[in-house]
């Protein structure tokens, strides 16, 4: 998957990490490393594999491609 308007493609794991960083810390509010943010949201496993929840987020993002609406997920 490539983010529109960028020069290089972003892999799915990188996209989930980017989104997690953009959204900020989880509800605990503790500072974390970028990958840990995606893990704490349940999108990646500790070894970086994409979880079912992560695949759901990726599908939702893909559905938003080429639309004018803003993706506003409910993230627990």
Q: How many domains does the chain have?
A: 1
Say if 24 falls within a structural domain: yes
Say if 70 falls within a structural domain: no
Domain limits at 24? 12-64
Rounded to whole angstroms, how far apart are CA atoms 2 and 38?
Answer: 19
Say if 41 falls within a structural domain: yes
Q: What are phi and psi of 63, to 5 degrees?
A: -65, -25
Say if 69 falls within a structural domain: no
Say if 33 falls within a structural domain: yes
pLDDT in tens, 18-66: 999 888 876 666 667 889 999 989 999 999 999 999 999 999 888 876 6
Please report the DSSP string for 19-65 in residue order.
HHHHH-S-TT-----HHHHHHHTTSB-TTS-B-HHHHHHHHHHHHHT
Q: What is the pLDDT of residue 72?
A: 54
Say if 73 falls within a structural domain: no
Say if 47 falls within a structural domain: yes
Say if 2 falls within a structural domain: no
């Amino acid at each position: 998957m490539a983010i529109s308007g960028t020069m290089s493609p972003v892999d799915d794991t990188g996209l989930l990490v980017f989104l997690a960083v953009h959204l900020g810390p989880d509800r605990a509010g503790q500072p974390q490393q970028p990958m840990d943010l995606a893990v704490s949201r349940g999108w990646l496993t500790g070894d970086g594999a994409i979880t079912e929840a992560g695949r759901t987020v990726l599908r939702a993002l893909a559905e938003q491609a080429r639309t004018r609406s803003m993706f506003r997920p409910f993230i627990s």
